[in-house]
Amino acid sequence: MADKEFTYSDVSEHNTKKDLYVVIHDKVYNASSFIDEHPGGEEVLLDVGGQDATEAFEDVGHSDEAREILDGLLVGKLKRKEGDPKPKTYTPTASTANATDGASMGVGLYAIIFIGGALAFGAYKYLQAQQEGQ
């Protein structure tokens, strides 16, 4: 079923809540069964129904789980024709460019907290020793 080809014209006919197709990275997905479960609300999907939703999908920074759900909605691929809208090119923004940035920032934060705690403990012990010496 995912081998089926759709034109933009075909996809654009599927733009209602009960019959909703979206194009993401030139793949066609039937989002009809997911519209009520979409965490961002149905309006978000209806706004891009029957259209290329690549930019909207990527700008939100969907999780791996969301991408897995998307894979399950795949019904085919987009067959571009002369006169179709140009493909939405997606350039990752700084916030989505490198998923490991967030992980390394988290590790850095823990390091700062650990070092701050060690310094505070050292200062506490130093002051305690100073008071005992008086």
Residues 74 and 133 reside in one and the same domain: no
Per-residue pLDDT tens digits for 14-63: 999 999 999 999 999 999 999 999 988 889 999 999 999 999 998 888 88
CATH number for the domain harbouring residue 19: 3.10.120.10
Residues 74 and 134 reside in one and the same domain: no
Residues 134, 130: Cα–Cα separation, whole Å: 7
Residues 71 and 40 reside in one and the same domain: yes
Contact 31, 73 (CB under 8 A): yes
Per the document, the length of the chain is: 134
Go through 86-99 and write b for each residue having 16 or more CB atoms within 10 A of its CB, e for each that does not: eebeeeeeeebeee
With a pLDDT cut of 70, the percent of the chain lying above it is 82
Residues 73 and 95 reside in one and the same domain: no
Residues 15 and 69 reside in one and the same domain: yes
Residues 56 and 26 reside in one and the same domain: yes
The H or E element spanning position 60 is: helix 54-60
Q: 50 lies in a domain?
A: yes
Looking at the 3D structure of the chain, how many domains does it have?
2
Q: 86 lies in a domain?
A: no
Q: 132 lies in a domain?
A: yes
Per-residue pLDDT tens digits for 15-29: 999 999 999 999 999
Q: Which domain holds residue 124?
A: 91-134
Whether the model pTM is above 0.85: no
